[in-house]
Amino acid sequence: GQNIDQPTEMTATEGAIVQINCTYQTSGFNGLFWYQQHAGEAPTFLSYNVLDGLEEKGRFSSFLSRSKGYSYLLLKELQMKDSASYLCAGAFSGGYNKLIFGAGTRLAVHP
């Protein structure tokens, strides 16, 4: 199967920068998604990477290396509201693109 691995928990300080890493198995890989999920709410789309390199979107950036099976989500100028779970999900081929989710990284932002 396609294992998606990411750290379970991270903590950071308001105003700082945090990087959340994600690794995946490259077989059948088609693209990498990051979702944000606040407690009790649905996941919301943050970013999509299909080619190698960095995609920047405001305070959030996402990086992908297809050859290494590696991605990271970079959050800058952290705010308290960024405290949430961040889900890494890979799209893999198999008739249609199925999303396989990692376990999620719970980020706690402290003052």
Q: Give contact residues for other proteins (rule: CB under 8 A).
A: 30-31, 33, 40-45, 48, 50, 87, 91, 96-104
Q: How far is the CB of 23 from other proteins (least distance, A)?
A: 15
DSSP category for residue 96: S
Q: How far is the CB of 65 from other proteins (least distance, A)?
A: 17
Residue 80 to residues 16, 29, 62, 109, Cα–Cα distance (Å): 11, 34, 20, 5
The smaller minimum CB distance to other proteins, of residues 39 and 67, is found at: 39
Q: Read out DSSP for 65-78?
A: ETTTTEEEEEE-S-
Q: How far is the CB of 55 from other proteins (least distance, A)?
A: 10
